[in-house]
Amino acid sequence: MRSELALHGGEKTAHEPFPPWPLFSERTLQDIQEPLKTGRVASWAGPRCAELESRWAAWIGAPFAVSCSSCTAALHMALLALGVGAGDEVILPSHTFASTALAVLHAGAVPVFCDVASDQTIDPRAIEPLVTPRSRALIAVHLYGIVCDMERIVAVARRVGLSVIEDCAQCVGGELSGGKAGTLADAGCFSFSQGKHVSAGGEGGMVVTGSEQIARSCRTLRDYGREQEGQGRAAHVRVGFNYRLTEMQAIVATNELARLDSWNLPRRQGYARIYDHAFGQLPGVLALPLNTPARRNAYWKYPLQLDRAKLSCDVEEIRSAIVAEGVPESGIPWPESYDEPVFKERAACRCPNAEALRARTVVLPLHPTWEKSHAEVCVAAVKKVLRAYRR
Over the window 34 to 73, marking each residue x when it contacts ligand PLP by CB under 6 A and - when it does not, the resulting string is: ------------------------------------xxx-
167 binds ligand PLP (CB under 6 A): yes
**Closest CB to ligand PLP among 9 and 333?**
333
**Closest CB to ligand PLP among 191 and 264?**
191
Task: Sort 262 into a burial class: Cβ within 10 Å, 0-12 / 13-18 / 19+.
Answer: exposed
Question: CB 227 → ligand PLP: shortest distance, Å?
Answer: 26
- Member of 28, 120, 170, 264 binding ligand PLP (CB under 6 A): 170
Number of residues that bind ligand PLP (CB under 6 A): 14
Report phi then psi at 239, rounded to 5.
-70, 110
Residues paired with 208 in a beta bridge: 65, 188
Question: CB 337 → ligand PLP: shortest distance, Å?
Answer: 11
Over the window 222 to 261, marking each residue x when it contacts ligand PLP by CB under 6 A and - when it does not, the resulting string is: ----------------------------------------
CB 367 within 8 A of CB 21: yes
166 binds ligand PLP (CB under 6 A): no
- Member of 169, 200, 245, 306 binding ligand PLP (CB under 6 A): 169
Measured distance CA(219)–CA(6) in Å, rounded: 53
Strands 179-180 and 175-176: antiparallel
- Member of 56, 97, 113, 144 binding ligand PLP (CB under 6 A): 97
CB crowding 18-44: b at 16 or more within 10 Å, else e: beebbeeeeebeebbeebeeeeeeebe
Question: CB 237 → ligand PLP: shortest distance, Å?
Answer: 26
**Closest CB to ligand PLP among 99 and 291?**
99
Measured distance CA(112)–CA(97) in Å, rounded: 15
199 binds ligand PLP (CB under 6 A): no
Stretch that binds ligand PLP, among 117-125, 166-174, 220-228, 259-267 (CB under 6 A): 166-174
Question: CB 157 → ligand PLP: shortest distance, Å?
Answer: 19
Q: HSE (CB half, 13 Å, CA atoms) of 161?
A: 9
Task: Give the type of residue at 130.
Answer: L
**Closest CB to ligand PLP among 354 and 377?**
354
Question: CB 97 → ligand PLP: shortest distance, Å?
Answer: 4
- Member of 94, 163, 183, 191 binding ligand PLP (CB under 6 A): 191
Interaction with ligand PLP in 202-221: which residues (CB under 6 A)?
A: 205
- Cα-Cα-Cα-Cα dihedral sign, residues 347, 165, 56, 368: positive
Over the window 311 to 330, marking each residue x when it contacts ligand PLP by CB under 6 A and - when it does not, the resulting string is: --------------------
CB 91 within 8 A of CB 337: no
- Member of 141, 282, 311, 364 binding ligand PLP (CB under 6 A): 141
The CA-based angle 203-42-172, given to 5 degrees, is 35
Query: Which alpha helices (DSSP H) does the chain contain, by range?
Result: 26-31, 33-38, 48-60, 71-81, 99-106, 150-160, 212-222, 247-258, 265-279, 315-324, 341-344, 352-358, 372-389
Interaction with ligand PLP in 70-89: which residues (CB under 6 A)?
A: 70-72
> Residue 22: is the preceding peptide bond cis (ω within 30°)?
yes
CB 373 within 8 A of CB 271: no
**Closest CB to ligand PLP among 279 and 300?**
300
Measured distance CA(289)–CA(296) in Å, rounded: 11
Question: CB 284 → ligand PLP: shortest distance, Å?
Answer: 28
Q: Which residues bind ligand PLP (CB under 6 A)?
A: 70-72, 96-97, 99-100, 141, 167, 169-170, 191, 193, 205
